[in-house]
Amino acid sequence: MKNIVFIEGLPGIGLIGKLAAEHLIQETDAKKFAELYSPHFPHQALVKEDATLRLMKNKFYHGTIGDIDLVILVGDTQPSPSNSYGHYEIVTKILEYLMPFGISRIFTLGGYSTGGEVVEKPRVLGAVSHADLVEEYKDSGITFRDDPGAAIVGASGLLLAMGRQTEIRGVCLLGESPGYMYIDAKAAKSVLEVLSSILGITIDMTALEERAEETENLIKKIQDMQRKSMAQNVPEMSKDLGYIR
């Protein structure tokens, strides 16, 4: 492989990174070449269509588009947020596995919660391993925020921060999402658009656009249900005063 770019899309907010990476796998006809298992994953087995069981895992795929070789990481899960040791151990193993490939750049994909606020056009917020990458990618549609103390939990943050120690350069792309527990296809589309612009490639977004419309309708239904539920549970005094105590 030459000109190798590594893309991480593990489950997180809105499953944005996972959806974006899996769509990229589908569009590039990428092939699986390795699997990662860990005792830090949830202690459960998944039932397959033939009623057999399998362990939870992450998967590495290889695909090509133009003159770029893509190594894409997707999977079922990450360690729980409280399992710091598990996150560090798995990211260390991933970086050790990638080093012999000579990765030219890492892109980690994920979501940024708006705290329930729905946005018409999700922004893509970014963080980088090296400061000069902000200048390099400032015209790529990324919103870089000067937000000291903000945290990117899990592989999306650790791959860049730990990769920096071995001089691997990378960018984290986070799509804005209300943070509901469903696949946010609209935010995933925004992330893929930015990634495509950076890599100079063309990705067919048709399937994602259809899923984004379904997701938007789901958001509206959830909001309607929440409003009705709040209205039913507001005490009479609160209704009269115009606020909820």
Q: pLDDT tens-digit profile of 165-210? A: 888 999 999 999 987 667 788 999 999 999 999 999 999 998 887 7
Q: Answer with the residue of higher pLDDT: 8 or 184.
A: 8
Contact between 142 and 125 (Cβ < 8 Å): yes
Q: How many residues does the chain have?
A: 245
If you average pLDDT over residues 34-52, what whole number do you get? 94
Report the distance separating Cα 124 and Cα 141, nearest Å. Answer: 7
Q: Percent of the chain, pLDDT > 70?
A: 90
Q: What is the DSSP string of 103-124?
A: -SEEEEEEEEE-TT---SS--E
Q: pLDDT by residue (tens digit) across 111-150?
A: 998 888 888 889 999 999 999 999 999 899 999 976 777 8
Q: Which two tokens stand for residue 21?
A: 């990476």
pTM, to two decimals: 0.85
Q: Would the pLDDT of 212 be above 80? A: no
Residue 58 φ then ψ, to 5°:
-110, 155
- Given the structure tokens 């209300």, which residue do they identify? 178
- Among 29-38, 60-69, 116-125, the minimum mean pLDDT is found in 116-125
Question: Which residue, 85, 89, 108, is CA-closest to 97?
Answer: 89
The structural domains of the chain, ordered by start, are 4-203 (3.40.50.10900)
Q: Cβ of 142: how many Cβ atoms within 10 Å?
A: 24
If you average pLDDT over residues 30-50, what whole number do you get? 94
DSSP type of residue 227? H
If you average pLDDT over residues 25-48, what whole number do you get? 94
Distances (CA, A) of 224 to 122, 221, 227, 229: 21, 5, 5, 9
pLDDT for 35:
98
pLDDT for 240:
45
Alpha helices in 117-235 (DSSP H): 132-136, 155-163, 185-199, 206-233
Question: Which residue, 163, 9, 162, 154, is CA-closest to 83?
Answer: 154
pLDDT for 224:
78
